[in-house]
Structure 1
Amino acid sequence: MAFSNHFFLLALLLLLPMASSTAKFIYQKCDKSFAGNDTLTSNIKTVLSNLQAKASQTGFTTSTATGTPPDQVYGLFQCRGNAVSNCSDCVTAATLKLSNECSSQSVAYIWYDLCFLRFSNVVNFFGSMENGEGVIIDSPLNALNPIAFATAVANLMSQLVKNILNSGTNLYATAVANVTGIEGLSSMTGELQCTQDLKSSTCISCINWAISQFDACKTRRSCTVLHSSCTASFTS
């Protein structure tokens, strides 16, 4: 699966807590600078406003502002599956941050621990994992007994893939697994999620790709792979 036109940042940061009442910013990228296009500027504002307005009603939505290229804009937000009730403030923070910091760029992605939001005038990305962006965030702490730890991560992810297949349209799964044979470690938490515009088969393709990126951090105490269509994480 090719992502040759997009980079993936490795940041030595601690994994953010799995549960939080306040959204915490993780990462953003803004791209495709433009100037002197009032229609495109207006359409981006319209999409962001529509997304913000719907955040109190649902944990996922899309918005489109039609127009002649390059003025059309596509946007979506996705709340973390176990934080929908806390998501409205997160989406509001995301839209404001992008409005302030990416006002002259027509492609943007932003991740918080409770939500993800993106918009683009380049392509209608709904239902596709292509034309995306991603980031890897891992802990600076190494796990003891890295071979056993990597095996525990693989086993947990295998179970979570089965769970997300059975999650219906939620496309979200989380679990806590007992861990034995690793000093100082008794459990590990994992989480998988796809944006709800994806079909189940596309979700699994994205999840499998995200899990494959754990090769860069599988012996760290925690790691999160954020893609614009899916996320995969573990923490111990």
Structure 2
Amino acid sequence: MKSCFAFSISLSFLLVLLSVYTPSSESAPPNYLDHYCPNETLFAPNSTYQSNLNTLLSNLSSAATADTDGFANATAGQNPPDEAYGLFLCRGDVNASTCSDCVATAKQDILRICPNQRVSVIWYDECMLRYSNQSIFSVEEELPSLMMWNPGNITDPAKFVQAEAKKSTATVTTAIAVPLGVLLVFLSLACGFVQGEATKTHELVQEEAGN
């Protein structure tokens, strides 16, 4: 029987559920997934916000080349509403080079895909990049999110759903206690393995990460 299950990539808590684990490739370009451009607030070309945004994205891209554990946030500007806030979060199992390449690509793509936007998010399989004209640090948010489908075959849907529920609970519960990095959880099934991966943005406190 063919079945599908959804997974969500949120802003504050990046949760990736995969039926089969594939190691990251160092040479492959970032795998673009989706973007969010609400078109609610725009900035004028050559404006103060654009200058601050360019500075912000350059700083984030530079930070990705340093030892940041796959996460960094930054601000640019001092006077609202022209302040720019941003962050990137790389998947916990990718190496520093892959993380840096993904953020550099995201920096270019987000300006091209979401031109003149004060608020934007872009997702890749390896990382996410977000910026806003309002503070987004230590803020618990579930939206916007990205829903995707795995069209893989599941021979025993009931057993899979049961194992998936146990794995998700174990992944989230343990990730709350992990200060940095990525948590991988494996559960054995008759049809193979179910893997869960969780990465939280590092400025979230435990209570926020668990919600």
- TM-score category (smaller protein): 0.7 to 0.9
1:1-236, aligned counterparts within 5 Å? Answer: 18-21=22-25, 22=28, 23-31=30-38, 32-36=41-45, 38-57=47-66, 58=68, 59-85=70-96, 86-121=98-133, 123-130=134-141, 132-141=143-152, 143-170=154-181, 172-180=182-190, 185-205=191-211
1:37, distance to aligned residue in structure 2 (A): 5.9
Task: Report the alpha carbon displacement of residue 143 of structure 1 after superposing the two structures with TM.
Answer: 2.3
Q: Which runs of 5+ in 2 are unaligned?
A: 1-17
TM-score when scaled to structure 2? 0.80
How many Å separate the matches in 2 of 1:18 and 1:78? 19
| Residue ranges of structure 1 left out of the alignment (5+ in a row) | 1-13, 206-236
Q: CA deviation at 1:16?
A: 9.4
- Count of residues in Structure 1 that have an aligned counterpart in Structure 2: 186
Instruction: Tell me which of the two structures has the higher relative contact order, counting C-alpha pairs closer than 8 angstroms and 6 or more residues apart.
Output: 2
- Tell me the secondary structure at the aligned position of residue 72 of structure 2: strand
- 1:34 is displaced (CA, Å) by 3.0
> Structure 1, residues 72-94: CA drift from partner, whole Å, max 9, x if none?
11000111111142210000000
Partner SS, residue 118 of structure 2: strand
For 2:115 and 2:162, how far apart are their aligned partners in 1? 45
RMSD over aligned Cα atoms: 2.1
Instruction: Flag the 1:36–1:87 CA change in 2: closer, same or farther, 3 A.
Output: closer
Return the alpha-carbon distance in structure 2 between the equivalents of residues 108 and 19 of structure 1.
29
- 2:177–2:206 CA contact under 8 A, matched in 1: no
Aligned-pair identity (%): 33
1:136 and 1:16, CA in 2 relative to 1: closer, same or farther beyond 3 A?
Answer: farther
Aligned partners of 2:163 and 2:189 also within 8 Å = yes
Taking structure 1 as the reference length, what is the TM-score of the superposition?
Answer: 0.72
Q: How far does residue 36 in structure 1 lie from its aligned partner after superposition? A: 4.9
